[in-house]
Amino acid sequence: MIIENHHDVTRDALAVMARTQNPRQREILASLVTHLHAFIRDVRLTEAEFREATALLNEIGKLTSDSHNEMVLMAGSLGVSSLVCLLNNGDGGNTETSQSLLGPFWRLNAPHVANGGTIIRSDTPGDPLLVTARVIDRAGAPIAGAEVDVWHASPVGLYENQDPEQAEMNLRGKFTTDADGRFWFSTVKMVGYPIPTDGVVGRLLAAQNRHPYRPAHLHALIVKPGFKVLISQVYDPKDPHIDTDVQFGVTRALLGDYVRHEEPHPSDAGIATPWYALDYTYVMEPGETVLPRPPIK
């Protein structure tokens, strides 16, 4: 492989990629080299810019810890996470889907909670939110016995792993759907929040004059053998950043109706006013049941 010119580099790199034994890996690596080399030629990448790019990748790795995942934040901020999600669900991105981004804050081993219970585990001031939801298949049939892992940010815009004032696993919990595919619980109304901006992603947003905010949303990860794991977020359409999500995650199918009630709750006088109610239906697609790798511990 004596290189005569820049075209030879691409030719020889592709020849090496072709030796990859796994067919899917071979396809991905060949395409990666093709597009990456084309990108470098297209932008006429300088040596200084290349060194800066490698330094940024190294910095992203160093910033990632048990409680923070800078690479997931970067993928979302570039629209990559949303693109991958849409291309792999809803008939290749052509129909609506309940699938959404996993995000950087899902944790394993959230505590199991009985239907009707609460996921509030420490003093968390905020308006009460009562969630009722149903899990169905694409034909509309209920999915019983599904495990539903839910989590969300607090009314101050922080997940419990970011906030020493919150108890361990606050605003997280696992539920099991009943015979009608339903689960329900109480919590507090979440708010939109800024993603962490003290790293590489923050500098990217500043360079683009972009705000760092995500609109308010409720996460869910739903597991049932025989179905593709459903990773979802249900957004509040009244959030001021609903049209400008920094992670490009909002689709029309993921808009929930967070109904505000000024009157007392009809059956529970202990619920303060105002209170909110959310009723949402999650649609699971058939497929292989594979849990994602948690972005944090």
pLDDT tens digit string along 237-267? Answer: 999 999 999 999 999 999 999 999 999 999 9
Task: Concatenate the DSSP letters of all residues of 19-59 into one string.
Answer: T-SSHHHHHHHHHHHHHHHHHHHHHT--HHHHHHHHHHHHH
| Structure tokens belonging to residue 85 | 């999600």
Segment 206-218 mean pLDDT: 98
Q: Which residue has the tokens 């330094």?
A: 55
| Structure tokens belonging to residue 14 | 């592709």
- Mean pLDDT of the chain, nearest integer: 96
Among 81-90, 93-102, 181-190, 202-211, name the one with the lowest average pLDDT. 93-102
By C-alpha distance, which of 181, 174, 171 is closest to 218?
171
pLDDT the model gives residue 96: 81
Q: How many angstroms separate the CA atoms of 229 and 220, rounded? A: 10
The whole model's pTM is what? 0.92
User: Nearest 10 degrees: CA dihedral of 36, 41, 47, 50?
Assistant: -30
* Position 20 confidence tier, pLDDT thresholds 50, 70, 90: very high
Residue 1, pLDDT > 80, answer: no
pLDDT tens digit string along 43-60? Answer: 999 999 999 999 999 999
Q: How many angstroms separate the CA atoms of 74 and 201, rounded? A: 6
Segment 205-215 mean pLDDT: 98
CA distances in angstroms from 49 to 6, 10, 63, 180, 219, listed in the order given:
18, 20, 21, 57, 38
CA distances in angstroms from 107 to 121, 198, 281, listed in the order given:
16, 22, 23
Segment 123-142 mean pLDDT: 97
Angle at 114 between CA 109 and CA 115, to 5 degrees: 120
Q: How many angstroms separate the CA atoms of 229 and 246, rounded? A: 25
pLDDT tens digit string along 145-196? Answer: 999 999 999 999 999 999 999 999 999 999 999 999 999 999 999 999 999 9
pLDDT the model gives residue 263: 95
Omega of the bond leading into 274 within 30 degrees of 0 (cis): yes
pLDDT tens digit string along 97-123? Answer: 899 999 999 999 999 999 999 999 999
Residue 93, pLDDT > 90, answer: no
